[in-house]
Amino acid sequence: MSAPFLQFAQLCESLAATTGKLEKRRLIADWLRSLSADDAGRAALFLSGRAFPETDPRNLNLGGSILSKAVAELSGADQDAMRAAYRLHGDLGAAAFDLLPGSSQPKAALTLASVESAFGELAAARGPAAKLPLLLALLGNASPMEAKFLIKLVLGDMRIGVKQSLVEESIADAYVAEASAVRRAAMLTGSLPGVVGLAAAGRLEAARMKLFHPLGFMLASPVASVEEALDRFAQEIRDEQAGVSAVAPDEEQNAAGAASLAPAASPADLPPNLALREAQMEDKYDGIRAQLHGGDPEQPGRVALFSRNREEITASFPELAEAFAALELPLILDGEVLAWDPAQSRALPFSSLQQRLGRKRVTDEMRQRVPVVFMAFDLLSENGELLLDRPLSERRERLERVVGSQSPITLASGRSVRSNPVQGSLFAAVEDAEDEAFSRLVLAPAMRLESGDQLEQAYIEARARGNEGVMLKACHSLYQPGRRGLAWLKLKRELATLDVVVTAAEYGHGKRAGTLSDYTFAVRDGDTLKNVGKAYSGLTDAEIDELTAFFLAHTLEDLGHVRTVDPVVVLEVAFNNVMRSERHASGFALRFPRILRIRIDKPVDEIDTLARVEEIYASQPDRPVEAG
């Protein structure tokens, strides 16, 4: 008999109220240990906030609208009551707990297995009309506590202070295994239920990698200046235990863009100027970080692209799926999907890609107007061999061979481009072959760092090419999924800052529920204000509380979740770039805006103007080319 789902809900409530990581881990491990292996697998999966394992392509496709409709129907709450409950918690599951009545009527007991089965039925149902009766049946059999965590689980937003890494540690505790072995098995298999089964049987070493489930992405730490980049990278080199050679590749390798290295003295013994030469430089591209899987002989022709949050995005780029369908060996590549100008062999701005995201159907006209390529900068698996524990220098050398052999089979209509990175020029020299085809697989150019002046120049050249900046990677670095350390750095300076005024404030979610923490802001255009963006990061909790009280007292119109406010609070915001946008009356939007400070010293009549926004837009080396 499967365990009651109520036990899961009660555990989640306890976890949300527990602050200590060790106590959370003990609570999870104790409960997993008390369950059958099958139920423990379900519990581990649900605790990680997922309805299905990563390797399972099913999706519930249940959003806030249909969930709210179900809660309203079951509770009898009107729109005002629904809005008030949600505003109080910033969480639909917690709102449902308040709204749904306890019932004395006997209900079918929910179990972990029955919830798993219900999720399968919901995933198979097509469209809201088919899903709603199933959802009503599931929530109708749930107590308010169960409904609270069913909704949280469906939305993938548990808010109990538990990440998958903690669930993995708890599995290790429950079955007396090494946490590293559990993490590796989870990474290789993409299935927490499968990992629990292996751990319970004492067979974690039997885990094998499968294509078409995403590995975690290694991340880079941001730096804002050449000096900071060099200091932090040199420190990472000194702290690294394993040494690599500071000898530059020979001439033959330079011509091929190779970066092979041999073991040498510990970097801790290297003087700073030699430590810097252990860095590989690449452009930081303004595209979509993606992982490409393909070449599986058991599933010929299948290709999958995964975004940084490990969601499959293949449907948005059908031409890449078509081009890589003929891969001749199993591969997992790390890289960037870029909008591409074949005529000039260079990347186009990110804004060119935005219209492609989330589309179930990409038209032929769109494919022709915005061609895309996969810019590969790392090789994670080749022919079934996982390469995460190999140094970057080796992975790079193997990547170059792979691109050399596989790039010709990814040709597409257009112009042919062949990547040929050489020492001394960070951007690849591109040779035009025939005006008939270009490869969808491009090797990211890379070169060795020799000096701070070289890094500064590389940054200037990268921006001139329309890219975001420069990546700095330790040649000895292993690929560590999910880690953001100093082995990889990204030099990406803020384009500019603007002084703006807040015109609307929106209630936040989670810990910011009940506070007005998301701010729409505007610049001056003559005697009027025109919105250019919205920001929600950069202020302290105390500042947000203070602004909430102010905006509640200076509301012009209460629209429920959003309030238009008296435009008197001036903020200084930073951002990555300016884009054309139809969302705002200004015609522009700031990309990745961040609040730097509240400008209590600046009156509204001194904030920046729309003309200044247009000036910044026009000065961008990576702005889209506009029709004349």
- The residues that are catalytic are 284
Q: Which of 288, 5, 283, 269 is nearest to 141 (CA)?
A: 5
Residue type, 408: P
Dig out the tokens for 569 from the structure.
């609070």
Cβ(486)–Cβ(496) under 8 Å?
no
Calpha distance 287→372 (Å, rounded): 10
The radius of gyration of the chain from alpha carbons, rounded to an integer in Å, stands at 27
Q: Give the position of tokens 């808010």.
A: 159
85 membership: H or E segment, kind and range: helix 79-89
Cβ(277)–Cβ(448) under 8 Å?
yes
Calpha distance 322→325 (Å, rounded): 5
CA distances in angstroms from 446 to 223, 427, 471, listed in the order given: 19, 8, 9
Rounded to 5 degrees, what are φ and ψ at 335? -175, -150
Strand, helix or coil for residue 170: helix
Dig out the tokens for 252 from the structure.
């033959």
Calpha distance 263→247 (Å, rounded): 10
Q: Which residues contact 516 (CB under 8 A, 6 or more apart)?
A: 505, 506, 507, 508, 544, 547, 548, 551, 552, 563
Strand, helix or coil for residue 493: coil
